[in-house]
Amino acid sequence: MTTPSLMVPPVRQSPLHKVGEWWDVRVDRYNAQPTYLKAIWAVLAMVFVYALPLLRLPIITTNQIDFGGVMFDCATFALVALGLNIVIGYAGLLDLGYIGFYATGAYVTGVLTSYHWQWPYFLSLPLAIIVTMITGVILGAPTLRVRGDYLAIVTLGFGEIIQKIANNVSWLGASAGIKNIAHPPSFGKQPNPPFEQGGAFAIPHLQWNGLVPSLDTTHETHVLVFGALDAIPYYWLILTVLILVIIGDRLVKASRVGRAWEATREDEDAAELMGVNTFKYKLMAFALGAAIGGLSGSLYASGQGGYINPQAFMLIYSMLYVAAVIVGGSGNRWGAILGGVIVAYLPDRFRQLGDYRYFIFGLALMVLSIWRPQGLLPPRRARRARAAEAQIDALEEGDVEVTDV
């Protein structure tokens, strides 16, 4: 007896699919290495990412606005996207008002460290996280019981309400906002250039003449001084937080909790009948996401400017956050981070496009969702499942040769 073998033709894919494949190959190669090499690579990559704003590499460096500030924004967006990815990507809950949690975190820090009290920054941070988490529970507990789509509108309303409250309540600074928010404590004294060195030591930046680098000693970053002059220490702080959150995210995802989220997202009824308390896990994801939103908001508030106002928390940014997660690849933490960085970086890098920026951004979102609906870096399993589906489709359409061997 002969067995028919199926020759499945290569499935036609858009060029963007290459991004996911490229990433897979890198991940595989990385994982194939012995542990000590893996550790070395990870450390090198981390050093590189920390050093990015000092290196000021050509092409990627923004020239019209401070690159350190841009990197800070990118890291903030990455953190926000990572938090929202837990809500949208893992638990499958559509949160359109994530900016509300971000704003809550920022305002808790603003009120505690400047506007009404003079707490040191690192005391306000945990409180900001706790307050946003409680806000998340209060908002989520009633709405997560009803159908998923309503969560979208309720969170949208929440985002709008928070902004209106910030804008109208004088206890929160109203439309003028809050200034002089406490910075994290510096190590060493503030620099007084060009005469006095600040911090423990100073690192000069690089400057590029074409492809030739040289040291730029007129611009130095003082370690570790959180002042108004240099955004880079703030970038390092938020990057450190980002790395810690990534580690936490990994641990939780690869546990019973992560499985429960995934099962709930896939089929809520089936998950419930397999003993998963779906409501509890949805609320957990929602509150955890809220807490990370509050964490990033608090870090943002104490950033270089030490200033927040309601205009920074427009509802439209919420849409950008959702876009970041989906564009990057909902459900994959690296995808979400990539999406966050892209959404923060592109408008800044292409300032010269001026008013066209958001128009082009909108078109790009549309094109991307139609062309590559699963995002740039979807979770690995989704990639495998989709490849299998594509093969099955190809089989059904009959463009497969069945040959007897």
Partner 1 sequence: MDLGALFGSYDNFLSFTIGGLVFGAIYALVALGYTMVYGVLQLINFAHSEVFMFGTFAVAWVFVALHGTSSAQWSLGRSIPILLVALVAAMCLSAVVALLLERIAYRPLIKKNAPKLIALISAIGASFALSEGMGLRDKFAQWFGLDHKLANYVSPGKARDVYSNPVSILPHHLFSIGGYSVTDVDLTIIVAAVLMMVVLDQLVLRTRFGRGIRAVAQDPESAALMGVNSTRVVQLTFLLGGLMAGAAATLYMVKIGTTKQDAGFTLGVKAFTAAVMGGIGNLRGALLGGLLLGVMESWGAAVFGDQWRDVTAFVLLVLILLVRPSGILGEALGKARA
Partner 2 sequence: MSDPRPAVLEVDNVTIKFGGLTALNEVTFDIREGEILGLIGPNGAGKTTCFNVMTGVYQATSGQVRFGGKPLGRMRRHKITQLGIARTFQNIRLFKSMSVLENVMVGADAHSRVGIFDALFRTPRHRRTEAEALARATDLLEVVGIKADHDELASNLSYGDQRRLEIARAMATGPKLLCLDEPAAGFNPAEKLKLMELIRKVRDEGYTVLLIEHDMRLVMGVTDRIVVLEFGQKIAEGTPAEIRDNPAVIAAYLGVDEDDAS
Q: Which residues bind partner 1 (CB under 8 A)?
A: 88, 94, 142-143, 145-147, 149-150, 152-154, 156-158, 160-161, 164-165, 167-168, 315-316, 319, 322-323, 326-327, 330, 355-356, 358-359, 361-370, 373
Residue 270 binding target from partner 2, partner 1, none, CB below 5 to 8 Å by type: partner 2
390 near partner 2 (CB under 8 A) = no
Instruction: Give DSSP secondary structure letters for 228-243.
Output: SS-SHHHHHHHHHHHH
Q: Is position 384 an interface residue for partner 2 (rule: CB under 8 A)?
A: yes
* Alpha-helical regions (H) of 111-231: 121-143, 148-168
| Shortest Å, Cβ 357 to partner 2 | 35
Partner whose footprint covers residue 363, from partner 2, partner 1, none (CB < 5 to 8 Å by kind): partner 1
H/E stretch holding 74 reads helix 67-85
How far apart CA 178 and CA 114 sit, in angstroms, is: 7
Closer CB to partner 2, residue 4 or residue 210? 4
Structure tokens at 186: 């510096």
Interacting positions 352-381 with partner 2 (CB under 8 A): 379, 381
Instruction: Report the partner that residue 275 touches, choosing among partner 1, partner 2, none (CB closer than 5 to 8 A by kind).
Output: partner 2
**Type of residue at 321:** Y
Contact between 255 and partner 2 by CB under 8 A: the answer reads yes
Buried b (16+ CB within 10 A) or exposed e, 255-291: eebbebbbbbbeebeebeeeebebeebbbbbbbbbbb
**Among partner 1, partner 2, none, what does residue 59 contact (CB within 5–8 Å per kind)?**
none
- Contact of 97 with 315, CB cutoff 8 Å: yes
Using CB under 8 A as the binding rule, whether residue 348 contacts partner 2 is answered as no
User: Rg (Cα) of the chain, in Å, rounded?
Assistant: 23
Contact map string, positions 259 to 278, toward partner 2, x by CB under 8 A:
xx-xx--xx-xxxxxxxxxx
Phi-psi region at 231: left, alpha or beta (left = phi > 0; alpha = psi -120 to 50)? alpha
- What is the binding site for partner 2 (CB under 8 A)? 248, 251-252, 255-260, 262-263, 266-267, 269-278, 284, 288, 379, 381-382, 384-385, 388-389
